[in-house]
A and B are shown apart, each in its own frame.
Chain A
């Protein structure tokens, strides 16, 4: 599998470093990083089926609700903390951002860009957007806090986070220009 987001995230990770993946799903990213960068660390996940899959993928996976915070981890316990495609499903986004700052030096966040042109088009046509990145109906979506890339920049500024690097993808292809319009997913490397 050739996932550009995995490849980019891997580029941002130091070899043999300690990584925390929040909302790690089946642990595919951590498994990839373990193989590519010999990382150690843990994934946090809430769904039982994903716990089973994470174990199969030979990652350390901890069943926990991210909304409860990361109190099991000491300050600056990790080199990098990753919040991949999970931000938009969190109730308390500021709290998790603060917790990420607390437990790691580097922060990687990715989310579906609500400002993507196909989403905008669906809104103009009077419907809530649906796509491969946002596959749910409005009434049963776990994605309760959708934002655009510009909105995210504002939040980073409020949280005093510096954007070190970023990648925008559309259908697994990198997007260089007009990224808030053309990118369906944004991936950001942040530092404090």
Chain B
């Protein structure tokens, strides 16, 4: 259902306002790369912002040229007549600060030293991202977003928006997210980080000058991450114990299909993704804790928000399971916020938020229309 937004191109927002970061450091200027789809109406009331998750970017939908092999990362959700309908809404995607795909990051030149930031690039938090995103949204003349739709780490940014800028967004769609990470979540992130940090090509984050990349570490980090995005059932269904060549090799070459799949995913990722970005994205996740500045009471967090909420979780998501979404719902209910909650049956784990399913898509579509 629905069509593609077609051929799209990215734009750059350059901001010379100083951005004071939560960690204490400052960025004197920064760039954000972004894309938009659909048309902003005259009153500027139909804008939807879609923040990205850990490995995502600003390229949400469409292709860059006719022969482009890949579409944007949420092409099944965003487009003409799709759940986030670009015939009706003006959709904005932004690559986060520190991101991999063209926004100011560790790969960029530090304007003060005229050298690549590398390891000296600050560690950003969700709150910092939201502050920088707000400046871009303002530059488009949009005072109030109609909605922010975020999955996973994107959902965390959506919540932060509604808290930091209560008058700047009407509806939050918070999908497969959590109010903070659990010890287990942080543990997975730490293993991923250690894989990168201990790669001898990492050079303490300054591998750019060495003209190399810590690919081994990134591969392992991605392989581990990928396991946590899927469910046991969906892995079993897709791969089971299937062997690549139909027999045991009795050596350490890849023997099972799941091994080949993970290695392929790892390779693909290590080719294109920046290690400093990965490290910082996982840190932003770890440090995200809505309650921290509210006396560890989640219900206090939402006391001053004005947005309406749709919270969605997926039954087999064990990274951010339904119980974590219910914590968000409970805190919203405590404040008499307009909230709707859908717990969607899906066997595909955390990844379900990116996959097409009729009920899920109808839920998003109906909520945006209501």
Q: Which residue of chain A has its CB nearest to the CB of B331?
A: A72
CB-based contact A52/B343 at 8 Å: no
A79 to chain B, nearest CB (A): 12
Contact residues in B for A58 (Cβ distance below 8 Å) = 370
Measured CA separation A42–B362 after assembly (Å): 20
Q: Which residue of chain B has its CB nearest to the CB of A57?
A: B370
Of the residues A49, A56, A63, contact of B370 by C-beta under 8 Å: A56
Measured CA separation A80–B345 after assembly (Å): 31
Cβ < 8 Å to A, chain B residues 308-362: 310, 326, 329-330, 333-334, 336, 338-345, 359, 362
Measured CA separation A63–B359 after assembly (Å): 13
Q: Which residue of chain A has its CB nearest to the CB of B333?
A: A72
Measured CA separation A48–B344 after assembly (Å): 8
**A43-61 Cβ-contact flags toward B at 8 Å (1 or 0):** 0000011011011101011
Measured CA separation A64–B313 after assembly (Å): 12
Cβ < 8 Å to B, chain A residues 77-115: none
Q: Which residue of chain B has its CB nearest to the CB of A51?
A: B342
Asked if B363 is an interface residue, CB under 8 A from chain A, the answer is yes
Cβ < 8 Å to B, chain A residues 22-45: 40, 42
Measured CA separation A49–B370 after assembly (Å): 16
CB-based contact B334/A52 at 8 Å: no
CB-based contact B342/A72 at 8 Å: no
Asked if A66 is an interface residue, CB under 8 A from chain B, the answer is no
Contact residues in B for A73 (Cβ distance below 8 Å) = 333
Measured CA separation A14–B87 after assembly (Å): 42
B133 to chain A, nearest CB (A): 27
Contact residues in B for A51 (Cβ distance below 8 Å) = 340, 342, 363
CB-based contact A52/B359 at 8 Å: yes
Asked if A62 is an interface residue, CB under 8 A from chain B, the answer is yes
Measured CA separation A58–B369 after assembly (Å): 9
CB-based contact B340/A52 at 8 Å: no
Measured CA separation A36–B342 after assembly (Å): 27
Measured CA separation A73–B333 after assembly (Å): 7
CB-based contact B367/A55 at 8 Å: yes
Contact residues in A for B338 (Cβ distance below 8 Å) = 60
Measured CA separation A73–B329 after assembly (Å): 10
Interface, chain A (partner B; CB < 8 A): 18, 40, 42, 48-49, 51-52, 54-56, 58, 60-64, 72-74
Interface, chain B (partner A; CB < 8 A): 310, 326, 329-330, 333-334, 336, 338-345, 359, 362-363, 366-367, 369-370
